[in-house]
Structure 1
């Protein structure tokens, strides 16, 4: 009994603190009732306000008018002027550009973690001749103006107009003459001195302008100097490296390095320089000699290079030179993380060169994060078409393309290069040409490396008249004598179009580019093409000229899209940016499913 009384007394003592349970539905009703009561009180107070407006608070958090109503009243009083459509569009573009600029810097993980930043460029032993250094900056600028060279950056390096003044070895000068390279092209006039000085560089020039020599020749010179000072032994090297987006471009660059190295060995008392080619589809054992004696130069595609570095086949401890050819295409193709991982294998500062024909401002800004006091050397607008190419655009229905393709072959003598967007079209065109008795070869990503190399070599040796290819053959490959490029279909991006037609009209020669277009092409790409033709002073066909042009609505589209470089649209309408967003979303969705977050 006592125990029971004690329990009762405890409950009585806790009665004052006891809070009864209230159902959720009842709590919601009470909260709504409270809000309604407050609103009625507010409305009554509004009705009883004196007519003396000095005491009325009409703006701010204590105002009796809602924020939305305040905004409307201010707009009516012109306190917030209404923005024009043009101002709204510019603001939207700035927001998109700022969002795109939030990429991680293109540096190694270790350098980023340590906050390591190099302040001064690499020093080399090369200097311009004394008499060129004594010229004033006005004299140097006169040379740049003559060859339409634009530069940006601190302490500009003077341009040099003759190979003899670049202090190149006699065998190299002889090699250039044998290749009919009598004098430097505009990109070489400024780019070679910049690279030889050790400066980081972004090089932009139209296709066929000699960019490859601008970065491969300095690499040969640096490798030669390093070998003369202290010969490499097994397990050492490379001194420098060139990364390319495709196997064919890597093979072409590798052959060029070997030719210069052989010219040095054959033409004078110079040591042997060894190069290594790292691409998929080849047997690395065939290059075992380079591994055993030490590697001076490496040419690679990102995937195979990452594989060899992970397996520790060689290291980048002594590598002081890095060039990315077609750099913007490499980043677009999804190699950005691979390149950043490759940079983590460097043990010290390196000279970094980035080259391309199409380098939009977005890629330039991104690239600058990896460079030290870089010079930007620009010959013509980034993404502009080669003016030596006659561009012909023709409306061809989808089912009539194949027959009309055969007619187009009659425009010029061979060799002719035909581009198609997908592998199936390449195979169909190849088979059709063979049935019609045309000597044809074809390449695309689905063929083996042996098939691809056979096709390229037989076409270069003039054993075949026509090469049918996907865009794998459009980036940087040098076919000096191509008379005619035919686009069986218009690519999805204007940059790919510029690269495709750049396979002809090289080294100052004139070429023809014929492009089939119809309603299957997106409106944006047709507008970009229209503006590109106008810029190059080419004939604009009636079906493009009749298109509604946004520039007529919004004013000038000068500069075009800052993301992809297309002239016919702005960044807020960029199809490439939209495609990138879709890819990112798909990647996030697949990652979520892989992590078990799917349904």
Structure 2
């Protein structure tokens, strides 16, 4: 065999002799030269100094991961990453999900775009958060009687009545009915709503009722009456929402009179029978006013030779014995406040066995005042299906959704936004320091001629204002919850008849009371609830007339209520004073989201349900009551 030149390896008996070469620095290095196929084969058969081939870094990492057991997890992550990428990008990615031909900056930008695409908008987040809050505070117990809930009783169809709209109105197309609704700004929700009717004569009321309406100066129906009266006369359950002073009372008073008249003609009521219709009001004054309205129209019928209808007024602060005497003779209609009615039902002085008509006037106010459990208990005394009606000027979505559990295929009639102020009221807001209020009150009274209503939050403020006005020679009377019923009735009656110029009161005088020719309402204090403000100023600007409402504000007022007032003024196109205009809500951009404006819990326009002070106060009250009940329960157990 030829010997190669020095420095080259030699072939000896199938072995490779690898010479050692020393470089300039004295380091030893191995020198590999390319082998042919026969040499590779011979080298593989060798037992010592075997040739170790080069293994790429990627393969060595893979083997290392395989040993530690992490390869399976990485492969799973790799499959997931590949499934989320576009098919066109897969060929550009290596097995670890990185793109080999795209710069890191471009990859970062692409990932950022994908994250933004998946990210929810702030609007969607806000709406989802509000839905969760509304769901958490929603009443889980239905507004139904205990027996109905226990037996699973459900009514699928409304009560049938003998009334039908005139044929020529039924023959009109749905487009004609919609034009009438749009013209009068009537919003209707519900299954098969009845057509609106534009005259009382077409509603088939008897002549004595029509004459009684004319004597009161009522010649044509208001928008709520156009749609509401046909709905009630057909026997439909109904939620009625309209501005204060829009004539909601007649929507439930006239049908109940007609139903009771029909029952009396068929089979006269005997002793201890009745009532057939029940109207529940949150305050004694409102119940008394409703009782007087019903009595007026019943007297109109009786004067024309029709059967006499007996009505009973059941309110606190009056003699139970007198009320019981009326009930024992048999009654057709009962007007009551929740407390006195509960007492009489509990003592079996009255029953609701044949009652088929129930109306809750100012329904949301009643629930807010804590009568919710009483109303649910009253429902338990009914023995069969009844027609249920709920009316108010302010009824937030929370109350509407809760009330629907008690209604059968209800018709919701809405004239204007629920909780909106009447457009016939000129709202003026003045900044007055607390100590200057009582003096400034006299100047404010000079704006208009009497009669004037003054509202204050506290009973002691009502008494102080009343005394001050008397000292200044103003003919004034006062009303609040601390006075006995006889004195309250006397004050309201004197003011209604024009014997007194000014009525000073708390919010007991703000709900539903109707005084003729009230030109001016003064809010000595801004109420803690914007709904109370709407009810207060609604005592003027009634039945199409214009009125003025003046409100005193200062730094003592809660900012959340001022924000609600600011947006209420903007909605009603009223002048917003500078100190109110500068107020800004943290979530100003979220105040109008989609179809839902403002707070879905209390109806305030200056905040959302996420910042609702009324909801927070309610939750704090519930928490404190729970703790107190537990404490009392523990103590009673010890006793």
With the length of structure 2 as denominator, give the TM-score of the two structures. 0.81
Runs of 4+ in 1 over 3 A off after TM superposition: 45-60, 75-88, 549-558
Paired residues of 1:416 and 1:483 also in contact (CA < 8 A) = yes
What is the correspondence of 1:347-362 to structure 2 with a 5 Å cutoff?
Answer: 347-362=383-398
**Structure 2 SS opposite 1:228:** helix
Residue-by-residue CA offset, 1:199-231 (whole Å, 9 max, x unaligned): 000000000000011101111111111111000
d(CA) in 2 for partners of 1:139, 1:78: 51
- Is 1:143 the counterpart of 2:188? The answer is no
Query: Computing the radius of gyration over CA atoms, which structure comes out larger, 1 or 2?
Result: 2
Q: Which of 347, 351, 356 is the aligned partner of 1:315?
A: 351
d(CA) in 2 for partners of 1:51, 1:105: 56
Residue-by-residue CA offset, 1:276-334 (whole Å, 9 max, x unaligned): 11100011333455223211000000010000011111211110000000000101111
d(CA) in 2 for partners of 1:409, 1:491: 20
d(CA) in 2 for partners of 1:537, 1:96: 31
d(CA) in 2 for partners of 1:567, 1:513: 19
Identify the residue that residue 108 of structure 1 maps to in structure 2.
145
Identify the residue that residue 588 of structure 1 maps to in structure 2.
626
Paired residues of 2:591 and 2:607 also in contact (CA < 8 A) = no
Identify the residue that residue 160 of structure 2 maps to in structure 1.
123
d(CA) in 1 for partners of 2:325, 2:591: 62
Residue-by-residue CA offset, 1:12-64 (whole Å, 9 max, x unaligned): xxxxxxxxxxxxxxxxxxxxxxxxxxxxxxxxx9998589687466699xxxx
Identify the residue that residue 233 of structure 2 maps to in structure 1.
196
Q: Which of 530, 555, 559 is the aligned partner of 2:597?
A: 559
What is the correspondence of 1:489-504 to structure 2 with a 5 Å cutoff?
Answer: 489-504=525-540
State the shift of 1:275 in Å. 0.5
d(CA) in 2 for partners of 1:236, 1:358: 35
**Structure 2 SS opposite 1:317:** coil
What is the correspondence of 1:487-526 to structure 2 with a 5 Å cutoff?
Answer: 487-526=523-562
CA RMSD of aligned residues (A): 2.3
Identify the residue that residue 264 of structure 2 maps to in structure 1.
227
Paired residues of 1:480 and 1:507 also in contact (CA < 8 A) = no
What is the correspondence of 1:397-408 to structure 2 with a 5 Å cutoff?
Answer: 397-408=433-444
d(CA) in 2 for partners of 1:555, 1:282: 46
**Gap regions ≥5 residues in structure 2:** 1-63, 80-110
- Is 1:396 the counterpart of 2:432? The answer is yes
Q: Which of 198, 204, 218 is the aligned partner of 1:167?
A: 204
d(CA) in 2 for partners of 1:254, 1:178: 18
Identify the residue that residue 328 of structure 1 maps to in structure 2.
364
Paired residues of 2:282 and 2:362 also in contact (CA < 8 A) = yes
State the shift of 1:100 in Å. 2.1
Identify the residue that residue 611 of structure 2 maps to in structure 1.
573
Residue-by-residue CA offset, 1:340-366 (whole Å, 9 max, x unaligned): 100100000000000000010110000
Paired residues of 1:148 and 1:379 also in contact (CA < 8 A) = yes
- Is 1:262 the counterpart of 2:299? The answer is yes
Identify the residue that residue 295 of structure 1 maps to in structure 2.
331
**Gap regions ≥5 residues in structure 1:** 1-44, 61-74
Paired residues of 2:585 and 2:607 also in contact (CA < 8 A) = no
d(CA) in 2 for partners of 1:592, 1:289: 42
- Is 1:441 the counterpart of 2:441? The answer is no
Identify the residue that residue 70 of structure 1 maps to in structure 2.
none
State the shift of 1:143 in Å. 1.1
d(CA) in 2 for partners of 1:327, 1:398: 34
Identify the residue that residue 519 of structure 2 maps to in structure 1.
483
**Structure 2 SS opposite 1:333:** helix
The alignment covers a number of residue pairs equal to 541
**Structure 1 SS opposite 2:353:** coil
State the shift of 1:97 in Å. 1.0
**Structure 2 SS opposite 1:369:** helix
State the shift of 1:142 in Å. 1.2
What is the correspondence of 1:89-104 to structure 2 with a 5 Å cutoff?
Answer: 89-104=126-141
With the length of structure 1 as denominator, give the TM-score of the two structures. 0.87
State the shift of 1:435 in Å. 0.9
State the shift of 1:589 in Å. 1.5
Residue-by-residue CA offset, 1:383-424 (whole Å, 9 max, x unaligned): 000000000011111111111111100000000000001111
> CA 1:111–1:313 in structure 2 vs 1: closer, same or farther (change >3 Å)?
same
